[in-house]
Amino acid sequence: MRRLGLPDAWSTWAAAAATVFLAVAVVFASPDAGEAQVAEYLDHEAFGQELRSVVDGSDAASVSVMATSPGGRDVWMVELSLPGALDPGDRPALLVVGSLEGDHVAGSHFALEAIRHIVGSTDDEAVRTMLTDNTVYVVPRANPDGVEAMFGSVRWNRSTNGRAMDDDNDGRMDEDAPDDLNGDGMVTLMRVMDSEGPFMVHSDDARLMKRADAAAGEAGTHTVYIEGRDDDGDGFYNEDGPGGVDLNRNFQHVHPYYQRAAGPHMVSEPESRALIDFAVERRNIAAVLTYGHSDNLVMPPNARGQLGGIATSDLHVFAMESLDEIFDVGVWSSRPSNLQGGLQLRGAQPGRDNDPNSGRRPAETVDGDDVEYFERVSERYRDITGIESVGVNRPAEGAFFQYGYFQYGVPSFSTQGWAPELPEDAESGGSLDATMLAAGVSFVEWTEVDHPDLGTVEVGGFEPHMITNPPADRLPELGAAQGEFVVALAGMLPRVRIVETEVTAHGGGIFTVEAAVENTGYFPSSLSHGIVARSVDPVLVQIGVESEAIVTGDSKSSTVAQLAGSGHRARFSWVVRGSAGQNVEIRVRAEKGGLDSTTVTLR
C-alpha cells in the first residue's frame, strides 16, 4: 500500500525539480463533521480503507461494489440516506461521481470528504432533513486504474483505465510507454531542436513554448514530445502506453468516435457501463454532479446555453500533436461526384449525425428555459466554495455530465473542485501554462539528456498531476466545502406533495373532489430539455375511483409535463359518483420528485 502527499504548498519551480514525493500522513480536524480529514492522496488500497472507515458504523451510509475495473480494482458506490416517509429508491436523488479521468485524483477525495461531511453532520437539521427527504449516491473513484498511475514507481499523467489497447494499430498492446529519461521518478516532456518544428521557446518565459507565427515573421525551432524512447521502433514516441479508455470520453453524448482514449464504442468499459446501468435503473436520480476536467459550475452556460471557454496546457497539447499522424484514424477521403476537384476531407462518422454536410448535430447548448437554473446553482456553488476561476477546462466530448443533461434530462454539473490561486501581484500572461507558473505550480526545469534516437534533448515541464490536482494539504478545506455544496444541491431537488384537498357534495351521490399538487423543491419536475428529449416522465396524478365513476373534470390519471418549483402548484378537479362516507385515495408521482398520497372522504 502506498500513500502520496503532494507538497504542502506550491513550491517554486526550481525547488520542485528536486522534489521527491514521500508518504506523509497528515490529518486535520473537520469543523463540520468532527472527524479526521485526509490531507494526502491515497492509492486504491488506502482509499478503500479510508472510505470504509467513514461509512462503517454509520446509520446514514452503506457501501457496495458497482463494478470491477479492467485492472481488477473495485469501483465503489456509497448510498447516503436515513429512514423517512419514502424508501430511498423513491426519493429524489443526487448522483455524485469522482475521478472519471484518472489524472483528476482530487475528484475522488472531494467525493470522499463530501461523504465524511454528510455522515458526520447528521445532527445538523439541514443535513438530517436532506437525508430523510432525499438520497445521495456517490461513486467516489470511478476510474481506479487511471488513478494508480499517480502512485507507481514512476509517476505520470494518465487519464485512462486499465484496458489494454493497440493505440497505434500495429497488432501489439501497450508496447511503447513513456520513459523516465532523467531518473527523477516522473514522466514530463521533451523539447527537441528541430528546424522544421512548429514551436519555439516563449520570449516571455523560457520555460514555456509557443507556436511559431509565420505571419509575425517567426520560425519554429522545436518539436515537443512526451518524455520517453521509441520502444517499439516505429518512429513514434510513447504512442502506446498502458491503458486504455478515458471514461469521461466514453459516454453517449457527442461521443468522439475513433479518437484516442474514447474507447472502441460508447459505454465500452465495465466502469462506464455500470454507471449508465445504475442511472437507468434508478430513475429517481434528479441531478448529477461530476468532479472532472470540465466546468459548468464556476462558469455556467451563457444566455445562448453555451459553456465557457476551454483552457488546456499548451505544453501538453504540443506534445500530443507529435502523435497526430498515428492517431488519425476513422477519417477517410473521397471525391464527391458533384465537386470539381479537391477532396472531401472528412467522411461521415457514426454518431456524428450521418452526412457531415447536413448541418445536423447533437444538441450541445443548454435549453434557454433551463439556463437560469444553471446560473442559480453556479451562484450557490461560488458562494459556498469561494471558487471564482477554473484551471484545466477541456472540451467535453462523451462526458458523463453531458449525458446527464442531454440524454438523461436532469440538471447535470461538472467542476474541477479547485483552481490555482494567483498572488495579488502576479500576472498570468494569458495562457493556462503562464497562469500555473504564476501560481507557483511545480515545474521541472528543462535539463539536457542524451536520447538514443534524438540526440541531445531537454527534459522538463510541469510535474505530473500538479496542473490537475491541488496540493494535498488543501484537500480537507476544499472537500468540506464540496460536502456543504452537495447538501445544498440535494436540497434543491424537486419534491411533489399534495397540499390541499376539498370535497363538495352536490346530492344524489355526486361529489366534486379537488386537489392541489405543489413542487416544494427549487428545480422543476422536469427541465425543459428533459421534456424535449422525452427523457423525464411527466408528473402523474391519479384518483382512486373507477373511470366509469368520473362524470367530468380531469381524467382518472392526469399528467403535468412540467411543474415548476419554488412552491408552484397544479390543481385538479374531478366530479365523481360515489356514496357518502366512501374513502378515495389521491396519488401523485414525479419521476424526479418523489411520491405522495392522501385520502379524502366523500361527504
- Over 70: is that where the pLDDT of 370 sits? yes
Dihedral, CA atoms, 242, 245, 249, 250, nearest 10 degrees? 180
Nearest CA to 466 out of 315, 590, 577 is that of 315
Distance in angstroms (rounded) separating the CA atoms of residues 87 and 84: 7
Distance in angstroms (rounded) separating the CA atoms of residues 511 and 504: 6
DSSP character at residue 261: T
- Over 90: is that where the pLDDT of 359 sits? no
- Residue 160: burial class (beta carbons within 10 Å; 0-12, 13-18, 19+): buried
Q: Is residue 353 part of a domain?
A: no
pLDDT recorded at residue 167 = 65
Over the stretch 173-198, which tens digit does the pLDDT of each residue have?
A: 665 678 889 999 999 999 999 999 99
Q: Is residue 564 part of a domain?
A: yes
Exposure b/e, 350-370, CB count within 10 A at least 16 = b? ebbeeeeeeeeeebeebbeeb
Per-residue pLDDT band for 360 (boundaries 50, 70, 90) equals low
The structural domain count of the chain equals: 1
pLDDT recorded at residue 22 = 31
- Over 60: is that where the pLDDT of 351 sits? no
**Per-chain mean pLDDT for the chain:** 87
Q: Output 322 or 169, whichever has higher pLDDT.
A: 322
Helix residue ranges per DSSP H, 120-188: 125-133, 144-147
Q: Is residue 214 part of a domain?
A: no
What average pLDDT does this structure show over 1-25? Answer: 37
pLDDT recorded at residue 581 = 97
* Sequence letter at residue 396: A
Report angle CA 322, 328, 330 to the nearest 5 degrees: 165
- Over 50: is that where the pLDDT of 340 sits? no
3-state SS, residue 288: strand
Q: Is residue 512 part of a domain?
A: yes
- Over 80: is that where the pLDDT of 361 sits? no
What average pLDDT does this structure show over 18-23? Answer: 33
Over the stretch 495-550, which tens digit does the pLDDT of each residue have?
A: 999 999 999 999 999 999 999 999 999 999 999 999 999 999 999 999 999 999 99
pLDDT recorded at residue 19 = 35
pLDDT recorded at residue 122 = 95
Residue ranges making up the domain that contains 538:
496-601
Over the stretch 537-592, which tens digit does the pLDDT of each residue have?
A: 999 999 999 999 999 999 999 999 999 999 999 999 999 999 999 999 999 999 99
- Residue 25: burial class (beta carbons within 10 Å; 0-12, 13-18, 19+): exposed
Q: Is residue 513 part of a domain?
A: yes
pLDDT recorded at residue 173 = 64
Q: Is residue 138 part of a domain?
A: no
pLDDT recorded at residue 1 = 43
* Sequence letter at residue 504: T
Q: Output 428 or 92, whichever has higher pLDDT.
A: 92
* Sequence letter at residue 253: H
Q: What is the CATH number of the domain that holds 566?
A: 2.60.40.10
The size of the chain, in residues, is 603
Over the stretch 220-236, which tens digit does the pLDDT of each residue have?
A: 999 999 998 987 776 77
- Over 60: is that where the pLDDT of 37 sits? yes
Distance in angstroms (rounded) separating the CA atoms of residues 207 and 226: 16
Q: Is residue 112 part of a domain?
A: no
Over the stretch 257-316, which tens digit does the pLDDT of each residue have?
A: 888 889 999 999 999 999 999 999 999 999 999 999 999 999 999 999 988 878 888 999
Q: Which residues are CB-neighbours of 90 under 8 A, at least 6 positions away? A: 284, 594, 595
Q: Is residue 510 part of a domain?
A: yes
What average pLDDT does this structure show over 366-379? Answer: 97
Q: Grid coordinates in use for 260?
A: 484516442
